[in-house]
Amino acid sequence: MASHETKSPFTPYGTKGVGESGPVGAPSVLISAVEDALSSLGVKITELPLTPNKVWELIRDAKRRLKVR
């Protein structure tokens, strides 16, 4: 395998893709934190975006499920 590096003509230092990987993990970390905080209710987050209203709905629905049992 050969590597052929070229500088980008569009940036001052010729760098490419420097910030692309940084924000990738943020959503999963936030989801894990919310799930951990709501673990006593058995909340599992399965879709994004996770808005404040969605968190409220997850809590409300979990409490309803717990009362039914």
Q: Record the tokens describing residue 27, joined without a space.
A: 């959503």
pTM, to two decimals: 0.62
pLDDT of residue 37: 97
For residue range 17-67, list pLDDT tens digits in order. 756 666 677 888 999 999 999 999 999 999 989 999 999 999 999 999 999
| Residue in 55, 25, 19, 14 with CA at minimum distance from that of residue 37 | 55
| Residue in 65, 15, 16, 23 with CA at minimum distance from that of residue 44 | 65
pLDDT of residue 22: 63
Say how far apart CA 61 and CA 59 lie, in whole Å. Answer: 6
Band of residue 3 on the pLDDT scale cut at 50, 70, 90: confident
